[in-house]
Amino acid sequence: MPAPADFDSLRFAIMRQRDALPKRLMQVALYALDHADEMAFGTTASIAQAADVQPSTLVRFAQHFGFDGFSGLQQLFQARLRGRNASYEERLRQLESGGAAETESGTILKGFIGAAHQSLDALSSAIDPAQLEAAVEVLARADTIYLIARRRSFPVVTSMAYAFGKLKVRCQVVSSAAGNDDDLLALATARDAAFAVSFSPYAPESAAQAQALANRGVPLVALTDSALSPLATSAKIWFEVIEADHAGFRSLSASLAFATALTVSVAERRRQR
């Protein structure tokens, strides 16, 4: 088969074959979609080590998707990065200009500001308006919206819960200090809906809870960072938001912006009714 012409085509090809890919090739696929920047400029050895596979597996992965070898696949990731970084690099130059020596803290702050800008720039093109409208409709119809998240993604749902409370929309954060998550989820019916958030490395509890609700006919909307996320298989509608990192740390700039927009849109849709 012909090799994908761009990153989005590769991503679609991986999604289409996700259930048929051998285990090791799926391992590479997960790493590639979650670490696209590293795929662009890492060496075969460094990428293989990070993905916990043999270098030959990277070559097999590339050939499986129609490339002659790994270098052809890597050029696709490099093209993606060049296009995305044009405006980002200009913004960084503006942030770094000024002449005065920066303190260490100031440099770190500017690094995170740059990463936040990059994440927010990517957000506008990552969200399909029709899909967003469909998600708003699903959540606006719900009697109760169950909010599912753990670890790094937990602040997203607590922010939504606070806003929903102010907007008089009934919701329930599932991750409770009382440890009665399963009891809370048992109350959900097809008249309700759920919103689940999980980023790599994915919280198994969130994936299991989301799948359990989907199996019982509860409409599920999800926010995640990869087409191969376990939430993507169980959600009625899902969104992929990838946060840029600085020094290995990722903020929630784009995720919180998206979640806030979704929350307010749901409340507005309900008000119009």
The per-residue pLDDT for range 223-234, each reduced to its tens digit, is 998 888 889 888
The per-residue pLDDT for range 75-98, each reduced to its tens digit, is 888 887 776 555 555 555 555 554
Please name which of 36, 42, 41 lies closest in space to residue 8, comparing C-alpha atoms: 36
Place of tokens 């957000």: 123
200 near 146, Cβ under 8 Å? Answer: no
Question: Read out DSSP for 87-134?
Answer: HHHHHHHHHH-SSSPPPHHHHHHHHHHHHHHHHHHHHHHHS-HHHHHH
Please name which of 137, 127, 147 lies closest in space to residue 258, comparing C-alpha atoms: 127
Mean pLDDT of 154-173: 95
The per-residue pLDDT for range 240-264, each reduced to its tens digit, is 998 887 777 788 999 999 999 999 9
Please name which of 87, 71, 57, 64 lies closest in space to residue 18, comparing C-alpha atoms: 64
**Strand 145-148 to strand 171-173: parallel, antiparallel, or no bridges (unpaired)?**
parallel
Residue 54 is predicted with a pLDDT of: 92
Name 220's bridge partners. 194
The per-residue pLDDT for range 130-147, each reduced to its tens digit, is 999 999 999 999 999 999
Residue 91 is predicted with a pLDDT of: 53
Place of tokens 């009891």: 183
- Copy the structure tokens of residue 40: 């662009």
- Copy the structure tokens of residue 11: 């991503």
Q: How far apart are CA 258 and CA 269, in angstroms?
A: 16
Q: How far apart are CA 154 and CA 262, in angstroms?
A: 16
Chain centre distance of CA 139: 19
Mean pLDDT of the chain: 86
272: helix, coil or strand?
helix
Percent helix, strand, coil in the chain, to 5, is 60, 10, 30
Residue 100 is predicted with a pLDDT of: 52
Mean pLDDT of 29-36: 84
Q: What is the DSSP letter of 168?
A: T
Cα radius of gyration rounded to whole Å, the chain: 20
- Copy the structure tokens of residue 194: 């759920």
Q: Which amino acid, residue 34? A: D
Q: Give the rounded percent of residues in the chain with a pLDDT score beyond 90.
A: 44
Residue 136 is predicted with a pLDDT of: 97
> Any idea of the CA torsion for 124, 125, 129, 135, to the nearest 10 degrees?
-80
- Copy the structure tokens of residue 189: 């019916």
The per-residue pLDDT for range 167-184, each reduced to its tens digit, is 999 999 997 666 678 788
